[in-house]
Chains A and B, each alone.
Chain A
Amino acid sequence: MTTPSTPSSGRRLGRTTTRRAAEAVVRAIIYLCGWMAIIILGAIAVFLMWNSLRAVQEAGLVTMLTGTAWYPTSSPGKFGMLPLILGSLFVTGVALAVCVPVGVAAAVFISEFSGRLVKEVMKSIIEFMAAVPSVVYGLIGVAVLIPFVRQFFGLDTGMTALTGGIVLGIMSIPTVISISEDALHAVPAELRQGSAALGNTRWQTTFKVTIPAASSGIFAAVMLGLGRAIGETMAVLMLTGNAAVMPTSIFESVRTMTGTIAAEMGEVVQGGLHYSVLFAVGLVLFTITFAINLAADLVLERQRKRWRR
């Protein structure tokens, strides 16, 4: 005798099995997507290394990194990256000189001295600055800053490391402000209250207690601003003049690593030596920014742990 419940329980069982199978598949997909960040980052590293293999074999890694002549189209081509690396450093140095003091001071004002309304307004303004595409910053630089730098310093050309660096510094300000502000905000209220209870003024508290307590976060903000500035392409390409010679001052045209890749990749033979060398430049860039981001991340993590307690 069959129980009336059998067919229905059988169907239920069947549905559960298929559903289980479906769940397993979906879970597998979720796990795969979860791992995607590592997969992509690894793929980027592998592709960069694989494509720069020819450059390392034929031009030599040390020769490239220490060479002072970048004549990729002469025959035989010279692939000294030092002018490009220095170019990037000059531009980035100027950018840091702009964005660090401005960004940190503005963050201190927003976090310590301003009310809620001012805070909200400043946040939207910073979001707007971060949302403007880099090519538009480049365009503004071309229209405003290039003529200004040329006239103000009496130079032959306004396309200098200084010009690119200033625009890059302005572009990095949102990053520095928002991360410094987060770091200041994360300092526990008890520290501030304790300092105030000892009779310190707001500024004394900020200067002697809050900023030292948030220093690792502010350091991370500077590092991330630095990473952004080194990796920025379009604005420097439009503003620095792109002369691939060893730079001696910030009032000269320079060519950055990013600008070199962008400007030359369109004209090379795919798979050729020059092509491979440009990937090697990309690999250098990737390594530098990776180290910077890793350092910033470790510092931020340590700070997070410190305040968790």
Chain B
Amino acid sequence: MSRLGRTRQARTAEAVARVLTGTVALSVVAVALFIFVYIVYNGIGALDWTFISEVPRDRGREGGILPVIVGTLYVTLTTAALTLPIGVLAGVYLAEYAPRNFTTRAIRLAITNMAGVPSIVYGLFGLAAFVLLAGFGRSIIAAALTLTCMTLPVVITATEEALRQIPQDLRQASLALGATRLRTIYKVVLPAAAPGIITGSILGLARAAGETAPILFTGAVFQMRRLPDGLSSQFMSLPYHIYAQVTSVPGWNRTLVWGTAFVLVAGVSIVSVIAAWWRSVQRRKVKW
């Protein structure tokens, strides 16, 4: 009898736990869904040809966001050009060369810690190192270098993980054919790992495109009459445009600001989804 009672109690606890954790998980889904629907609902009305083809007028209360989109693309692509080579080589070092010792452990620790450094601290570092000391001034290159420091841990980790999934047989076969270690990495291992590396990097870069704090003091401006014309030019940026409107433009145009947010979120999500989808397709193609 008492055993039966305990079982019933346990069953009740089981049901309660399932319902409770399930409700919490469902509420997370609800919040995410709300965020998604709210951005789309408020932002989609702004989208038309004028919005993406004209420059902002009246401090952003009228007109479009062309230079804002171009500036974001410019900085993000520059960041990609800087981050990819360094990050991939660092990942190669960790996966193929690094000995199992204290130094390697320290490098790994540095990478996880870099990922945890607040974005505003990267902004301070960028201001002191790239804007002032290196003399780049507030510019696309200074902002891109700052974002590079922030994105590197993502690219390094993605590369190392992708490389570790390549079976050892492939390397040994290449070495047995007389290829050097470096040639093996360059001709065999890296191409095989490319989908994982590229997808991971794109996810990191998409996140960099949405960052505001690192570019606050390193080159982003609110008002620009023309498109950026070089790496030393200042630039407008989608996240900074949203922030500046909301905090310093009295009577900011709701439709246009939400439109800007929509363009930012849609851009970041679409690129991320395509990258993730492409990786899964590539993975299915190759079976080790």
Contact = CB atoms under 8 A, between A and B. Distances in A.
Interface of A: 19, 23, 26-27, 29-31, 33-38, 40-41, 43-44, 47-48, 50-51, 101-102, 105-106, 108-110, 112-114, 122, 125-129, 131-140, 142-144, 170, 173, 177, 200-204, 206-207, 224, 227-228, 230-234, 237-238, 258, 261-262, 265-266, 270, 278-279, 282, 285-286, 289-290, 292-294, 297
B152 A40 contact: yes
Contacts of B122: 44
Contact of B93 (A31, A48, A133, A139): A31
Give the size range of B's interface with the partner: 35 or more
Question: Secondary structure at chain A's binding surface: helix, strand, loop or mixed?
Answer: helix
Nearest to B122: A44
Contact of A128 (B21, B25, B210, B269): B269
27 contacts: A31-B93, A35-B107, A36-B152, A37-B156, A105-B20, A105-B24, A106-B25, A109-B18, A113-B21, A113-B22, A126-B28, A131-B268, A134-B212, A136-B261, A140-B35, A143-B42, A231-B117, A233-B212, A258-B120, A266-B217, A279-B124, A285-B118, A285-B121, A286-B117, A292-B116, A293-B113, A294-B113
A129 B32 CA distance: 6
B119 A201 contact: no
Interface of B: 10-11, 13-14, 17-18, 20-22, 24-25, 27-29, 31-33, 35-36, 38-39, 42, 85-87, 89-90, 92-94, 97-98, 106-107, 109-125, 127-129, 132, 149, 152-153, 156, 180, 182, 203, 206-207, 210-213, 216-217, 239-240, 242-243, 246-247, 257-258, 261, 264-265, 268-269, 272, 276
Given A128-B32, A258-B120, A33 B86 contact: yes
Contacts of B89: 29-30, 33-34
A28 to B, nearest CB: 11
Contacts of B90: 33-34, 36-37
Residue of A37, A133, A233 with most chain B CB atoms under a 10 A cut-off: A37
A194 to B, nearest CB: 17
Residue of B39, B98, B118, B149 with most chain A CB atoms under a 10 A cut-off: B118
Contacts of B107: 34-35, 37-38
B242 A139 contact: yes
Contacts of A258: 118, 120, 213
Contacts, number: 257
A232 B118 contact: yes
Contact of B243 (A44, A238, A293): A238
Contact of B113 (A23, A41, A126): A41
A134 B13 CA distance: 38
Contacts of B123: 261-262, 265
Nearest to A293: B116
Given A34-B97, A136-B264, A136-B265, A47 B14 contact: no
Question: Secondary structure at chain B's binding surface: helix, strand, loop or mixed?
Answer: helix
Contacts of B239: 133, 135-136, 234
B86 A36 contact: yes
Task: List the 6 closest pairs (A to B, CB-CB), nearest first.
Answer: A231-B118, A34-B93, A133-B210, A109-B21, A33-B89, A293-B116
B219 to A, nearest CB: 13
B139 to A, nearest CB: 16
B180 to A, nearest CB: 6
Residue of A33, A35, A200 with most chain B CB atoms under a 10 A cut-off: A33
A30 B92 contact: yes
Contacts of B10: 200-201, 203-204
Contact of B17 (A173, A203, A228): A203
Contacts of B217: 265-266
A102 B113 contact: no
Residue of B111, B116, B213 with most chain A CB atoms under a 10 A cut-off: B116
Residue of A36, A102, A144, A265 with most chain B CB atoms under a 10 A cut-off: A36
Contacts of A50: 128
A238 B247 contact: yes
Contacts of A143: 38, 42
B28 A102 contact: yes
B112 A34 contact: no
A191 B207 CA distance: 38
Nearest to A282: B124
